[in-house]
Amino acid sequence: MMGTGTFAEPTFEALLGGRYPVVGLVTQPDRESGEARGSTRQTGRGMKALAVERGVAVLQPEKINTPEGVAGLQALQPDLLVVAAYGQILSNEVLSVPRLGGINVHASLLPKYRGAAPVAWAVYHGETETGVTIIRMTTGLDAGDMLAQEKLPIGPDETAGELEARLAPLGEKLAMHVIDHLAAGPVTGEKQDKDRVTKAPKLKKENGLIDWTRPAPAVCNQVRAMQPWPTAYTWWHREGKPPVRLMITRCQAHPEESTSGARPGSCLARPGGAVLGIAGGQGVVEILGLQPSGKRRMEVGEFLRGHAVGVGDWFGAENE
- Count CB atoms within 10 A of the CB of residue 215: 17
CATH of domain 205-316: 3.10.25.10
- 255-277 pLDDT tens trace: 999 998 899 999 997 656 557 89
Cα–Cα dist 126/106, whole Å? 19
Mean pLDDT over residues 175-193, rounded? 96
Are domains 2-196 and 205-316 of this chain identical in fold? no
State residue 260's pLDDT score. 86
In whole numbers, what is the pLDDT of the chain averaged over residues? 93
Domain positions in the chain are 2-196, 205-316
* Residue 34 binned pLDDT confidence (cut-offs 50, 70, 90): very low
Residue 199 has pLDDT above 90, yes or no: yes
DSSP string of 110-130, one letter each residue: TTSSBSS-HHHHHHHTT-SEE
Q: Which pLDDT belongs to residue 114?
A: 98
Angle at 180 between CA 177 and CA 28, to 5 degrees: 75
Whether the Cβ atoms of residue 123 and residue 108 lie closer than 8 Å to each other:
no
H helices present in 233-291, as ranges: none
Q: What is the structure's pLDDT at 39?
A: 45
Instruction: Report the half-sphere exposure of 22 (CA within 13 A, side-chain side).
Output: 24
Q: What is the pLDDT of residue 37?
A: 43
More confident residue, 170 or 38: 170
For 40-70, how does the pLDDT look when each residue is reduced to its tens digit (9 = 90+)? Answer: 455 678 999 999 999 999 999 999 999 999 9
> Residue 93: left (phi > 0), alpha (psi -120 to 50), or beta?
alpha
Q: Are 318 and 271 in contact (CB under 8 A)?
A: no
Residue 246's H or E segment, with its range, is: strand 241-254
What kind of fold does domain 2-196 have according to CATH? Answer: Rossmann fold (3.40.50)
H-run or E-run covering 148: strand 146-153
Confidence at residue 316, expressed as pLDDT on a 0 to 100 scale:
97
pLDDT of 239 higher than 60: yes
